[in-house]
Structure formats: structure tokens, C-alpha cells
Amino acid sequence: MANPANHGVLGNARVVLADRVIERGWVEFAEGQIVAFGEGQPRASYVDFAGDLLIPGLVELHTDHLEAHYMPRPKVFWDPVAAVLSYDASLATCGITTVLDSLRLWRDDGADQIGRESALLADAIAAARDTGMLRADHFLHLRCEVPMPDVVAEASEMIRRSDVRLLSLMDHTPGQRQFRNEEKLRTYYRGKTGGMTDAELDVLFAKRLDYAGLHAARNYRALVDLAGARGVPLASHDDTTLDHVAQSVRDGVAIAEFPTTLEAAQALHAGGVRVLMGAPNLVRGGSHSGNIGTAELAQAGVLDVLSSDYVPQSLLMGALQLPHLVSGSDLASSVRTVSKTPAEAVGLIDRGEITVGRRADLVRVNIRRELPVVRTVWCAGERVA
């Protein structure tokens, strides 16, 4: 092999394939791709895994965790490239080798200081990528708050970037979707940095309702058409009713993020839309906002994709907990929810599975005290953690 640093044989491992687990197996990679795998003893010298798990690199479709690195304290903004590097390192060391960085295209007036930095952060990600500073493979996920007046113009500008892989259609109008119960939305905002008084929330909610009446229907159609014209997959967000589901199916949504009811999740799954839920919800044992639990959807057989959302470590933790929580689930099917299925959902068919010809995105995992410990990570055959 011309480049020894990009060639390796990993053996004595529990190799998690897409459909089964090889209890004592090996994998060989070269020039960024998996070139062979098998059971038993490999022919060549190898890195001895001592029975540790070998899984495909994790694929994350929805995380806004970058914002916490860019603004680590209220009104304190970090150097954007340095923030990207810190964020990227936290992902890679949790086994995430492909990530769609979720950038919001609106500002939550009065509730926090993050907003309208999507282009700044996208430029920082590109700068870090272009100079070889990143460990994981980064793409963009545009989070579009449908009722906001400027969201279509902002999305039209951002979607021109070649690394955009997903556009989500969100509506956090009081009384809608995730926050059908307005009091839950008030509780959410009271708990955000600095908090908001009821009087301030009354003003904010009135503005949001005005925006919904004036812009939501027109913006929704414009965003769907924009994504279609650019060939960018769509995600719905917080589908709650069968009407929401019908709209998502009609408009060709590929992924339904965080449906809030069992009824909606079942209908989405039956309609061919992949259902994405939060791994923190699964690990914590329920939703922080009081909606349907990830475990409930998994037990109902309608969970397709896990997302780490705001806790990178939760992605691997959640996947490895699924076989213990869901009757009939096994390790291979659980790992698919964080690798092969999310990769396919956004057209990344070159990764997400340990098989010949796929990218050598690989993770060594040791289990200690029932917790997964990421020991080593390879991204396209290069060791990155």
C-alpha cells in the first residue's frame, strides 16, 4: 500500500455489519475505503481490538451544538473558526464521522443572542475544512423557521453552498406542533438564558402569531420549491397531526424530525418518511418538553434515525441502549439508526456501513460500566481520534 498511514487491518473485534454482528472478525481498509472484512483471524498483522466493538462511523443529521461553542456564555462570542474546531473535536471523540451542522436562519428575538450568524458559521466551517483542520466530514443543514419574514431570502442565499444536504421546515408558533400547549412554550422561554417575563412573552407570542398569519403559508411553499429546485432533501419538524403528516408526505419530505405524537409517527413511517428522534430523549427516559418519548416510538417499530441533538455523546449511548429497551431489536439494527439509515436519507450512499467499497469511517468502542467509551476513530481511513 502506497500510504501506510491510510492502510490498516483491525482484528479480534466484534464487527457490527448492517444486518448482523461478527463476534470475532476483522476489517481491512486502504486508500480511504474498506477493502475486505471477514470472520476469524486476519491473514496480515493487525491491530488487536481485544473483543471491542468495531462499528461504522456515526452519521449525525441534526445538531445545533455548534452554537454552544460559538457563544459559550451570554453575549460572549468565540472566534468562529476556533469554535468550529472545538465542536468538531467533541463530535469526533464521540464517534461521529459525518455531521450535518444545523444552522438556524432566524433570530429568536428577546430570547437569546444567537441568530443571523448562519453565513458566518458556514464560512468558518468551510475555512476549517479547506485548510485541513477538521476531523469529521461536515455538511450543512438549514433550519428554516417558516413564519419568519426573511427566511426565504436567507435560505435562497445559503442553499447555493455546495455542502448543503438538508433543509428543515419548522414552525414554533405558539399553539402549533411541539408547543400546542402554549404554557409549555412559556416554560421553555422562561428557562432560557436570562429568562423572559410573562409580559415580554405576551409581546413575543403576539408577534409570532402575526408572522404566522402573514407569512407561513407563502414561505412554506417557497421553501419546498427552493429545496426541490436545488435537489436538497427536506425535513419536517414536530409533525403532530395527520394533517401535518399528509402535508409532509405530499411534499416529498425525506425525514420527519421529532414527531410529537405516536399517531403522527406511525403515519409518517407508513408513508415512507424516515422518523428521526432525539437520543437525549432516549437516554434521559423522556422528552424535556413533554412530548412522545423516543423509546415509545422505538417500541412501536417506527423509529428510523437517532440524532444527538444537543449532546454529542448521546448518539452512541442511545444506539447501544436500544437493544435493551426494545423487544426484537438487536445491535446491528440499532447501529443502523445512527449510521446507514441517516446516511442514505441525505444521499450519502458511500458511507454508514462496514462493507467493501464504503468509506473507512470506523469507530472502536469499549464498554465500561455499561457505558460506551470511544477508543479510536478513523475518518476515510485517517485516524482522527
Q: Cell digits for 45? A: 498483522
pLDDT by 10s per residue, the chain, length 385: 344 558 999 999 999 999 999 999 999 999 999 999 999 999 889 999 999 999 999 999 999 889 899 998 888 999 999 999 999 999 999 999 999 999 998 765 555 555 568 999 999 999 999 999 999 999 999 999 999 999 999 999 999 999 999 999 999 777 566 666 556 666 666 555 456 777 877 777 788 888 888 899 999 999 999 999 999 999 999 999 999 999 999 999 999 999 999 999 999 999 999 999 999 999 998 776 667 999 999 999 999 999 999 999 999 999 999 999 988 899 999 999 999 999 999 999 999 999 999 999 999 999 998 899 999 999 999 999 9
Domains of the chain, each with CATH number or no CATH: 1-56+353-385 (2.30.40.10), 58-350 (3.20.20.140)
Contact 320, 329 (CB under 8 A): no
**Cα–Cα dist 235/232, whole Å:** 10
For residue 177, the model assigns a pLDDT of 60
For residue 190, the model assigns a pLDDT of 58
Cβ-proximal residues to 327 (8 Å cutoff; 6+ apart), any chain:
299
DSSP letter for each residue of 25-55: EEEEEETTEEEEEEES--SS--EE-TT-EEE
For residue 189, the model assigns a pLDDT of 60
Q: What is the pTM of this model?
A: 0.91
